[in-house]
């Protein structure tokens, strides 16, 4: 047997030490990686932040990973905001909140709920389910409540007394409602009085378009008592001189947003009253920066009471055909106009009307035209008058009529030049 020299032994020893150090380093790295990936021991604040971004079902599954995650799943902060989705398989393809989960929420987290909305489909069963949940929220103090019909307004199919009974449970127990969206529901004047009696100091936003059981006196009661109201949406039949004056009182804060839906259900049989100019003037003096948004769904013969004198409208949307005469009056009576959308007009070009609007409505920054006609020359003149303030210009290609000055191929260059950006006509309506 050959004897190893001291040099060979030293090499072996050094190699062995290096292997040992390498293995130790690997173990240390593995341990550090293991500690870094110990998801079960993450701080609860971090898990809570992550959970807030997860869909409810994924959140429920994640809560089963370990005890720490399950504790976070039941923390009050995670249940302050919740959206109940109530859909029937026969009438909707949308997912629904599982009934067992709803029971658990009411049992364990109803007193944590603050920002709640209900999305229901067109079925009466979904609306009934929403009312059943509302009637059980006796231990909560909601700050916001929204009842949203994703299709046909199914809340209107319920007996009024059943709906009102459920809704007033929330009104009485909340005491601090700041936002209420109850469009297309059978809410009535007495229930609004309950709302005001318990939430007058906190209510800031109220949306209640298409609520046929509410009278002008009912909405006036809200305006008289809720002096902090900043946003209001309602149908035109609820708008009155008295309401505008109540919103203009010294006690009332400045309104920021007023939306009016002007809707005709029966052609030729709907009577629209006229609001006095003095009432509009008082309203704007009190709230000079208010956005007055008006949606018109009328037939041509029903526009006679409107745009006869100056009104402070900032946003106008015409959902049905509107005549040249009416659009001409818009240019004369709406100097605060910011946005104009016309879905249809007919076959008479709107050249003069558009130019008048551009000349008189100095704040106009957005316009959308659908089934209308405008000559290319008039359209270029309109854009030239408005200039770069037009942040949104949605014009269907079929609207523009070529003339001696401009073809469809030329117009986009000319319009782009005056806008200061590249512009093309729309192939489909984007507004």
Cα dist from 397 to 262, 342, 401, 409, whole Å: 29, 14, 9, 11
pLDDT at 97: 83
pLDDT at 69: 86
pLDDT at 18: 61
Mapped to the 3 state alphabet, what secondary structure does 3-41 carry?
CCCHHHHHHHHHHHHHHHHHHHHHHHHHHHHHHHCCHHH
pLDDT at 180: 97
Helices (H), 77-200: 99-104, 124-134, 160-174, 189-199
Query: Tokens standing for 265?
Result: 């259900």
The answer to whether 399 touches 370, Cβ cutoff 8 Å, is yes
Q: Walk along the chain (431 residues) and give the pLDDT tens digit of each residue.
A: 445 555 554 544 555 566 666 666 555 555 554 455 577 777 888 888 888 888 777 888 888 888 888 888 888 888 888 889 998 776 555 678 888 888 888 888 888 899 999 999 989 999 999 999 999 988 888 999 999 998 888 999 999 999 999 999 999 998 899 999 999 999 999 999 999 999 999 999 999 999 999 999 999 999 999 999 999 999 999 999 999 999 999 999 999 999 999 998 776 667 889 999 999 999 999 999 999 999 999 988 889 999 999 999 999 999 888 999 999 999 999 999 999 999 888 778 999 999 999 999 999 999 999 888 999 999 999 999 998 899 999 998 889 999 889 888 888 899 999 999 999 888 766 55
Query: Strands 179-181 and 144-149: what pairing?
Result: parallel
pLDDT at 58: 83
**pTM to 2 decimal places:** 0.82
pLDDT at 27: 57
pLDDT at 15: 56
State the residue for tokens 């009485």: 172
Cα dist from 417 to 129, 256, 384, whole Å: 56, 35, 9
Nearest Cα to Cα of residue 377 among 406, 353, 409, 348: 406
pLDDT at 279: 96
Kindly state the helix (H) or strand (E) to which residue 81 belongs, with its residue range. Answer: strand 81-86
pLDDT at 23: 64
The contacts of residue 336 (CB under 8 Å, 6+ apart) are: 292, 312, 313, 314, 361, 363
pLDDT at 428: 66
pLDDT at 46: 87
Collapsing DSSP to helix, strand or coil, 147 comes out as: strand
What span, in angstroms and rounded, lies between the C-alpha atoms of 327 and 62? Answer: 57
Could you give the domains of the chain?
Answer: 44-78 (1.20.1280.50), 80-419 (3.80.10.10)
């Amino acid at each position: 047997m050959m004897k190893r020299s001291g040099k060979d032994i030293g090499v072996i020893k050094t190699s062995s030490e290096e292997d040992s150090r390498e293995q130790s380093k690997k173990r240390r790295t593995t341990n550090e990686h293991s500690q870094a990936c110990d998801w079960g021991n993450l701080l609860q604040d971090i898990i809570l932040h992550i959970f807030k971004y997860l869909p409810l079902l994924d959140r429920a599954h994640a809560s089963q990973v370990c005890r720490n995650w399950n504790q976070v799943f039941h923390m009050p902060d995670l249940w302050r905001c919740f959206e109940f989705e109530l859909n029937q398989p026969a009438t909707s393809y949308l997912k629904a909140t599982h009934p067992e989960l709803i029971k658990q929420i009411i049992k364990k987290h109803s007193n944590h709920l603050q920002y709640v909305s209900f999305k229901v489909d067109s079925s009466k069963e979904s609306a009934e389910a929403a009312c059943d949940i509302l009637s059980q929220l006796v231990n909560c103090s909601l700050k916001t409540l929204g009842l949203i019909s994703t299709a046909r307004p199914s809340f209107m199919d319920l007996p009024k007394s059943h709906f009102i009974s459920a809704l007033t449970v929330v009104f009485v127990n909340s005491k601090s409602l700041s936002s209420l969206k109850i469009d297309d529901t059978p809410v009535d004047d007495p229930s609004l009085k309950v709302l005001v009696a318990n939430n007058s100091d906190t209510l800031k936003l109220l949306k209640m378009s298409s609520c046929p059981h509410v009278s002008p006196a009912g909405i006036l009661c809200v305006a008289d008592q809720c002096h902090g109201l900043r946003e209001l949406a309602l149908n035109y039949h609820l708008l009155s001189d008295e309401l505008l004056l109540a919103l203009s009182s010294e006690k009332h804060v400045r309104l920021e947003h007023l939306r009016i839906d002007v809707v005709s259900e029966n052609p030729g049989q709907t009577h629209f009253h006229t609001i006095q100019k003095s009432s509009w003037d008082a309203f704007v003096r009190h709230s000079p920066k208010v956005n007055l948004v008006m949606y018109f769904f009328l037939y041509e013969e029903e526009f006679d009471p409107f745009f006869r004198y100056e009104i402070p409208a900032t946003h106008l949307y015409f959902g049905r055909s509107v005549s040249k005469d009416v659009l001409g009056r818009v240019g004369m009576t709406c100097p605060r106009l910011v946005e104009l959308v016309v879905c249809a007009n007919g076959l008479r070009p709107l050249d003069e009307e558009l130019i008048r609007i551009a000349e008189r409505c100095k704040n106009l920054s957005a316009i959308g035209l659908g089934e209308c006609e405008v000559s290319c020359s008039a359209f270029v003149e309109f854009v030239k008058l408005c200039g770069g303030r037009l942040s949104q210009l949605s014009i269907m290609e079929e609207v523009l009529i070529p003339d001696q000055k401009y073809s469809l191929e030329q117009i986009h260059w000319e319009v782009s030049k005056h806008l200061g950006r590249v512009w093309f006509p729309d192939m489909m309506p984007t507004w």
